[in-house]
Structure formats: structure tokens, C-alpha cells
Structure 1
Amino acid sequence: MLGILNVDKQFGDKVVLRDLSFEVRPGELFGFCGANGSGKTTTMRIILGLLRADRGEITWNGAPMDAETRQSIGYMPEERGLYPKMRPAEQLAYFAQLHGMPADEAKRSADYWIERLGVKHEPKDTLEKLSLGNQQKVQMAAALVHDPKILVLDEPFSGLDPVAVDALLDALTEKARAGAPVIFSSHQLDLVERLCDSVGIISGGRMVAAGPVDSLRAKESRKQLLLTVAGAQPGWARQLPHVVEASETGTSAVLTPTSPEVANEILQAALAIGAVERFVWKAPTLTEIFREAVAA
């Protein structure tokens, strides 16, 4: 279990993190979401020991995280941190050895991840000769090459084409199934929703929503109705009772009721307008949950 417990961080007069707490279980994919400047990267650097928290602690399996455990973390920064004049396989093997992997095993692992992530290059190519997308794949391979126990990834999907995204998703899912807690930040909320077991939404350095996506969707305040009424005239949805908001497109509408209990009254009012062709609850997307959480 990776624990981030009551963490505060301030740079001068600027408060970056405020009593931040969350946990990532073994085998869990945790999406860390927030706007630019919300505190995601600072949190990751504190997990890695690159920054020291003003208050709070980082724990691994209930004990304060030590240098040996941090040695087993696979980290991918948002900014590329590789050597442009080195060949990809050479530097991946080098990074693996820095984490304690024997030289022959490090070479095999480097070759494996280059092939697994589909890095397109010629044998003599240095990193700077690769496309930006392939450089991103090498950066990802650097986080995986030493078989880490924990993965911490900052915007890992940036600059990747759909095929490369699928290859990375497969690799992350495999690591999670092997028992590693995986935490990654991303602005691509559709990918977070597709991949993650749980999410945390940070705003202004505070965790404003966290938990399994299904649990976040289940909040009554987020429940909406999809309603279609044959032959309905413009403005019909706003005439329905107990509706806080109504987004109308022809004879269809998305409604936000005052509570789930009033659904039957809304249905009866809709039947008075015309034949009801659709009347179902709509699960909010992660993007909608994010907007609500950061606006609160």
C-alpha cells in the first residue's frame, strides 16, 4: 500500500499542497487528475523524495518510505530526462543497472521494452534522432526497465498515437496485475476513465474527490435523466416539474432532477406531452465529475 498522509507543501508564500491524503493499493491503477498547477507533480516529487513535505509523510505498507523502497520506484517525469546523444538500448540498460539490475539482465530488459513498446529506430540511432513519440516511448521504457514495485507516471500518454497508447495501457495493466500500485496523472480523462480502478481529483492543492469511478458516479447530485418524447415542441423539457437543469436537443433532453425520488413525477408529466420513447438514468463521465469537483 502506497500512502500519502496529510501532506502540506509551501514554496515561499505559495501554498501548493494542503493536507493531501490518499492511498494506492497493490494492483490498483490510480488516476491523479487536476488542472495545471494543482499540485500533481509536486506530490509525485514528494513520493520520490525529490522534495520534502513541510508536514505529513509518505508510507509503503504502513511504514515511512525509505531510500531502498524508493530505489524500486519506476518514475516517468512529464519533462523528458534522457540523454539525447546515447542510443536508447544503452541508456535503458544503464538506468536498469543504476537500480541494481545485473548488466546482462539489464540489457535483456532494455531490448524487451524497446520491442514491447514499439520504439521505431535504427540500430545506430541516438535518442535525439527519434521522433517525439518514440522518445516518449523510451522515456516510458526507462520507468519499466528495472521491474519496479511501484509506478509513478506524470502525463505518460502525452504525444503518443493511439497504437502506442494501447501498448502502454497493456503494459501498465500487466504491472498492476502483478501487484504494483500504479499512479499516473493525465489530462486525457477518457483514458483515465477507461483504465483506472480509482481516481483522485486535486484542486488548489486539496483532494476534492477520490474513490472508485463507479462510486463517484453514484452520488445522487450527479444523477441525470435521458428523456425522449415523440413530437415534443421546443421548450418542452423546461416545462417539466422538479428539473434543475435541462439540455434540450429536439425531442430529446438531458435533465438534472432535484432528487432521484421525483423521477416518476417527471415521467408522468412527459407522458402528458407525448409518447415517451426513452427514459433512462445517465451515468456522468469522468470529465463531468471533474468539472463539478473543481468548481465546488
Structure 2
Amino acid sequence: MKKIIAIITIILLPLIIFYFLNFDFKGGFSDAYNSFCKKALKEEKIPQSWLDRYQIEIESEEDLKNDIDKDGLDLLNEYLNSTNPLDFDTDKDGYGDGKEVRDGYNPVGEGRLDLDRDDLPDFWEKEVGLNLKKNDANDDNDNDGLINALEYAHLTNPLKTDTDGDGFADLAEIKNGYDPAVAGEARPDFQLVINKIGVTAPIIWSHSSEEAEIQEDLKSGVVRLPDTGIPGQRGNAVISGHSSNYIWVEGDYNYIFKNLNDLNAGDELIIKTTQKNGKSFEYKYKITEKNVTAPDDQRIFAENDRPAITLVTCWPLNTNWKRLVLRAEIQ
């Protein structure tokens, strides 16, 4: 019995001492204890340094739900989104912080909300089931050959190899000029823009290496030659266009590349893509080299570790003796 009393005394004595040291019989626990509790609460949820910056005091868990600036974000969410808890519109873009967060936009700058800073908007990562707290832009979760950044660019599902369920893998559809997010024969619209020489032309995804069929495709725009790269992805996409043609040949693009020789290193070209689901994006390239070669020079098709575009046309004008070749790399 004495042993039991001794054990109970050992356990209770420190608690009794703590109680009498910290209890104010007029008003409850002492200020020291209350301060201890508040400090623990702050450090668990919001850093003290953040609270000090805005001169905010919190007394209880409920205070974390305060919305001081009435923007729709409580204190905890102001902290999590790096917004100013005293400013209705932190980035001064005309939209309240709470509305931007709810709509998936960045409340402290331009663009979509992206808390893990991987250039994949949080609303999309949440929608498709990616990790909002991990920079996973370069991951390929479904092992289909498209990293997540490209899955977002094409609005394909990063967890499915065949987003539209038409029996063809996403990457295969992109390589062959089909829309990977829409089943069937849907094709995105590709466009080449070179502002310096006034070129705006559709890019036709040629599926044949036969000269006659390529010539037929060239009547409708410039042609991405088969088995070459994909705009925006690593590799070399070879695009051919007419600099001149026979006067009896019909077509609106017989002279589309007539001024190609006016381009030099550093000049810009743009590839624009619009998918059938409405998703559009563009890739900007800069010219890195210019050469005149033989028509069968295989250097035209040389692979590239970075996304590259090679523009090819017959040269000099009104002949097909040589090829004017310009290589551009993505910016």
C-alpha cells in the first residue's frame, strides 16, 4: 500500500506544483501559461514571423478562421496562399484574393494558381489526380512518353496512356497529327507564324513520303514531313514549303517561303496549335543556323537533343537545284 501511495505521489506532485504556480485564483491560469498555449497554437498552424509581419494576434483556434480583409480567405488560407491578410486584392488585378483562389487563379501574380511552382495549374493537377505539393512537371506517371508538362499542354490525362479511349496511345496520336484528347479522326490545327517575313500558314501533317502526295499537301500550306519531330518536343520537326512553283499549279502557298533567306540567326518563328477541345498553345523558336545544301543532304533530318524546327525550301528561287535550310531551337 505504501508503494502505491508513493507512486501516486510521484505522479501527482509535479502536477499539483504546476497548478499552484500557474493558476490565478481570481482569473484562471496565469498569463505565462496562456502565452505558452497561444505560442503553441501559432507555431503549429502559422509561423509567428508571419503573424508579426501583419501585427496579428490570435487567441484561439477560432481566430484562424478570421477573415480580416473580407476577401473570402481566413487567416490560415491567407498564409497558405501567400496573400496579404489585410488586403482584399493582394496583386491589385481587380479580383479579390478569395475569388482568384476559388477560380484557380494566382492571387499574388499572373496566371493560374500553382503552389508547387511546377507550371502545372493546381486546378488541373487536382482534377487529374497529380500531387499539388510536388514539382512533377517532368514526371511521366503513365509511361506513355509524354511528361506531365506536355500532358497539360495537350490536355491529356497524365495517368492514362490513351486519354480519348480510341485505341491509340496519346504520343502516337500526337506524332501522327491527331488530337489525343478527342476520339476518332480529330486533328488539331497547326500554324506556322514568322512575323519578320509576313508568313502565316497552316502546317499540314503529311502521312506519306511519296513526292506526289507531299506536293499535293503543299497546296494547302507548309508540310511537316513524316517521321520527323513534333513541335514542342525533343527532336527535329522538318517543315517544307514552296519558295516558288510552276505558274499553272494551283494553290495559295506556292510562294510562302520566297523570303525565307531574309531570316538570320536570332530571328523568331512560332508554332501555334489549337486542339478540338479548345486548348491552344504556342512554341517560340529562334533561328540558330542557315545553310544551302543538296536536296538529299541528310543533315536536314539530323536529330536534336532539344526541340527543334528545320525549315526547308527549294533554292535559288524558281529552281529546285538546292535546298535552303534554316534550323531553329525552342526558346
Tell me the TM-score normalized by structure 2. Answer: 0.26
Larger-gyration structure (1/2): 2
Structure with more strand by fraction? 1
| Greater share of residues in helix | 1
Q: Which has the higher contact order (CA 8 A, sep 6+)?
A: 1
